Amino acid sequence: MLAGSDSTLATMAQAISTTINAFDAASDLDLDRSDEDRQFFALRRALLEPHLSPLVAARRAIEDHDLDLGARLQVRVEMGDHVLDSGVSDGNTGTKLALKSKTELGASHVFGKSVATLTKERIALEPKKVLAAVERFKDVPDFPTRGAIAADLTKRADQQQSCLDEREKGNEARARLVSAGIKLVLDAAHALAAAKGALDERFPRQREYVATFFLDVLSGRSRRAEPAPAEPTAPAD
């Protein structure tokens, strides 16, 4: 099966490389070919070659993003979530202790009947929910550490929101890389289909021969290639 527009960048790069090298190999090795055939192979190879480097570069750009900026921003969000949860738990405990002898609204009014109402909230929503909880401090009796707890929670929530905003910008940057990659795959698929059409026209009724020029995306290798050697495994104890 020919690599199509729904192929991954890696698959399309492999497919284009396979066909480029097949044209070169046929020109050198196929003793049944004429000089005109070899000129045809050179022309078709030249039409495919400009697609390979951009495909490889686009794949690497996405991988670099995922391993560098994307990973860093995701870890910051996860760490920020832990820091925020810790602050919420400590704030809830401190508020409960300070208001345990009061008969008016207490910690549950601020943090909910269970602190898990906040700490188990979706990561993307928790900072805003925590800031809303801080606003409810004005409804409970004043106590010596109320201002400090409110300020600490606000700082942690704002910090986490910044991490989330940065991750979203990173996701948008990745989406642009993916979009560019999709366009490259589409263009390469058209070029690959054109190469097959040209081969079918030049070598009619030679389907097996034409197939040797292309990666079979169902098997992941050239249609007449030898099976890949098995991966070495450690001997059993």
Q: Kindly report, residue by residue over 18-43, the tens digit of the pLDDT.
A: 999 999 999 999 999 999 999 999 99
Q: pLDDT value at position 36?
A: 97
**Where does 9-222 sit in CATH, by number?**
1.20.1260
CA distance 4 to 67: 27
Residue 225 phi, psi (nearest 5): -75, 155
Domain boundaries defined on the chain: 9-222
Residue 63's H or E segment, with its range, is helix 35-65
Q: Kindly report, residue by residue over 95-145, the tens digit of the pLDDT.
A: 999 999 887 899 999 999 999 999 999 999 999 999 999 999 999 999 999
Residue 8: name the closest of 223, 217, 235, 228 by CA. 217
Whether 235 shows a pLDDT value over 50: the answer reads no
Residue 83: name the closest of 160, 145, 161 by CA. 160
CA distance 229 to 226: 9
Tell me the average pLDDT of the chain: 93
Q: Which structure tokens are listed for 101?
A: 């002898």
H runs (alpha helix) in the chain: 9-29, 35-65, 71-99, 107-111, 116-119, 126-135, 146-202, 207-211
Average pLDDT over residues 141-164: 97
Q: Kindly report, residue by residue over 167-205, the tens digit of the pLDDT.
A: 999 999 999 999 999 999 999 999 999 999 999 999 999
Q: pLDDT value at position 79?
A: 98
Q: Any residues with CB less than 8 A from the CB of 203 and at least 6 apart, and which?
A: 209, 210
